[in-house]
Structure 1
Amino acid sequence: MRRWFRQYVDAAYERLLSREISGAPTHVAVIQDGNRRYARRNGGDAHDGHRAGVETTERILEWCNDVGVEELTLYTFSTENFDRPAEQNEALFDLLCEKLREFADAEQVHEHEICIRAIGETEMLPERVQNAVDYAERRTREYDRFVLNIALAYGGRSRLLEATRGVAADVEAGDLEPDQIDVETIERRLYDRPVRDVDLIIRTGGDERTSNFLPWHANGNEAAVFFCTPYWPEFSKADFLRGIRTYEHRAESWRRTRARRALALLAAVSEPDLPEARSIVDRFRDSLPTAERSDLEAIERADASNENGQGVEGIDSSGRAAD
């Protein structure tokens, strides 16, 4: 009875979250933490936890499709993980080989045109894992409706370091001028194919840190971050939707901040900057609270008066109407 009631409550909460969500991030990145702790708590070994976690991976692909996410990156194996006991890693490598080939042949992968890619120092992995990666990438290379990035032998700082070394080598060889270095120059050297900026990072297992995950794509885009306590095998659709809601709140806050800054600019900056400020306000007008929309209307009335030679008295430097 208690289990049935819990399932009923969870289903109701999931429906509520689904109604609250009006949009979805384009790219979600997940740190799948807690597989081993889940296994220990349930009397199993690390391999049992990883196998249980794969089931969650299969479900999150469905959830992404449900809400409209277009790219998913899973932090599956870091460069630091090589320091774990060999027997644990070998069992995980066997599981990766099995699931990569299984995913690459799965009917739903081809039905939804999922492109599977590995990012990271994959040459550090055992040959059998490299072969499985190559098989999955070849089988799905032509798809572009949804991208699944699997971070294997991945280290965010090491990728940035290698990209920087590549740029430095090109400059030294005379193939690249320093003033030609831009964002695209670095991004082309990070991965073989483009990776979108990350909109939302989810970490399971209770730790509140991003562990050097996609630092270039996350920090530059000011990604929203959602930390939650369930171990990865326990991660539910309701947890996923809570993460999406966190992203939406962050995006709304960003729009409101942009609108407020532009609102202040309308009263404080020079004439050449005003068109851009007005454009930002027009785009994000609906993000402002009602009281601040009144301030905007006051500025617009003042602008109209100014055009008629009456000046802009009554508006202070913060963009708010004076009492």
Structure 2
Amino acid sequence: MKRWLRQRINAAYERVLSREISGAPTHVAVIQDGNRRYARGNGDNAHEGHRQGAKTTERVLEWCQDIGVEELTLYAFSTENFDRPEEENEALFDLLEEKLREFADADRVHDNDVHIRAIGEVERLPERVREAVDYAEARTSGYDQFVLNIALAYGGRSQLLEAVHGVAEDVDAGDVDPDEIDVETIENRLYDRPVRDVDLIIRTGGDERTSNFLPWHANGNEAAVFFCTPYWPEFSKTDFLRGIRTYEHREESWRRTRARRGLALLGAVSDTELVEARSVVERFRDSLPTAEQPSPEELAGSNPESVDGIDSSGQTAD
């Protein structure tokens, strides 16, 4: 009876969360933690935990597509994982090979135009896994509706270090002017193909750290982070929706901050900067509590319709 009641409550909560969510992040990154602890808790070996976790991965892919996420990155195997027992890693490599090929042939992947690709030091993986990566990437290379990144032999710092080394070598060779190095210069050397900035990182298993995961694309974008206690095989749609809600709250907070800064600037900037400040406030005004929202007349001053040829929405007047 208790299990039945819990299921009913969870289903009701899931419906409530679904109604509360009004938008979706473009890029979600997931640290799938807790497979081994889940297995130990159930008296199984680590391999069974990884296998159960793979089922969760399939469900999360579907949930992302349902709400409109366009890119999903899964932290499947870090460079630190090479230090684990060989027997455990070999079983995990077998599972990775199996699932990569299974995903590459799955109808739902082709029906939804899912592009599968691996990021990380793939050359360090066993040949059978590298071949499965090549197979999955080749089978889905023509798709662009949804991107599924599998982080394999991945370490964020090592990726950044390799990119910096590449830039330094080009500078020494005279191919790159140091004064022309910018964000795009680094990004072009991180991966063969572009990776979107991360909007939300989800980590299961109870640890509250991001473990060197996509530092350039997550930290640089000030991604929202959602930590939760369920082990990866136990991760539910309710947990997923709570993560999405965390992202939405983060976005709302960002908008309020921008609007408040714009209001503060209105009293401190020069006339030439007033138009831009008013435009910022107008754009994010609805994010403020009602009591804090300025009226259009307060924004525009003596002329609410136009300020120096710019209307109250920040657009150039005809």
> Are 1:263 and 2:263 counterparts?
yes
> Are 1:68 and 2:65 counterparts?
no
Residue in 2 aligned with 1:225?
A: 225
Residue in 1 aligned with 2:32?
A: 32
Mapped partners of 1:6, 1:185: distance in 2? 51
Residue in 2 aligned with 1:48?
A: 48
Unaligned runs of 5+ residues in structure 1 are 308-323
Deviation at 1:285, TM superposition (A): 1.0
> Are 1:162 and 2:158 counterparts?
no
SS of the equivalent of 1:268 reads coil
SS of the equivalent of 1:209 reads coil
Residue in 2 aligned with 1:300?
A: 299
Mapped partners of 1:237, 1:287: distance in 2? 28
Mapped partners of 2:253, 2:51: distance in 1? 38
> Are 1:204 and 2:207 counterparts?
no
TM-score when normalising by structure 2: 0.94
Mapped partners of 1:48, 1:89: distance in 2? 13
Mapped partners of 1:224, 1:244: distance in 2? 9
Residue in 1 aligned with 2:112?
A: 112
Mapped partners of 1:290, 1:225: distance in 2? 28
**Is the CA contact 2:278–2:300 (under 8 Å) kept in the aligned structure 1?**
no
**Is the CA contact 1:53–1:233 (under 8 Å) kept in the aligned structure 2?**
yes
Deviation at 1:304, TM superposition (A): 4.0
Report the AA paired with residue 240 of structure 1.
Answer: F
From the superposition, tell whether residues 278 and 300 of structure 1 become closer, same or farther in structure 2 (CA, over 3 Å): closer
Mapped partners of 1:260, 1:282: distance in 2? 11
**Is the CA contact 2:297–2:303 (under 8 Å) kept in the aligned structure 1?**
no
Residue in 1 aligned with 2:312?
A: none
Unaligned runs of 5+ residues in structure 2 are 307-318
Residue in 2 aligned with 1:214?
A: 214
| Deviations 1:247-289 (CA, angstroms, capped at 9, x unpaired) | 0000000000001101111111111212221111121110011
| Deviations 1:26-69 (CA, angstroms, capped at 9, x unpaired) | 00000000000000000000000000000000000110011110
| Deviations 1:206-245 (CA, angstroms, capped at 9, x unpaired) | 0000001000000110000000000000000000000000
Residue in 2 aligned with 1:242?
A: 242
Mapped partners of 1:60, 1:146: distance in 2? 13
**Is the CA contact 2:97–2:128 (under 8 Å) kept in the aligned structure 1?**
yes
Deviation at 1:302, TM superposition (A): 4.0
From the superposition, tell whether residues 161 and 301 of structure 1 become closer, same or farther in structure 2 (CA, over 3 Å): closer
Number of residue equivalences: 306
**Is the CA contact 2:118–2:149 (under 8 Å) kept in the aligned structure 1?**
yes
CA RMSD of aligned residues (A): 1.4
Residue in 2 aligned with 1:102?
A: 102
Mapped partners of 2:260, 2:136: distance in 1? 47
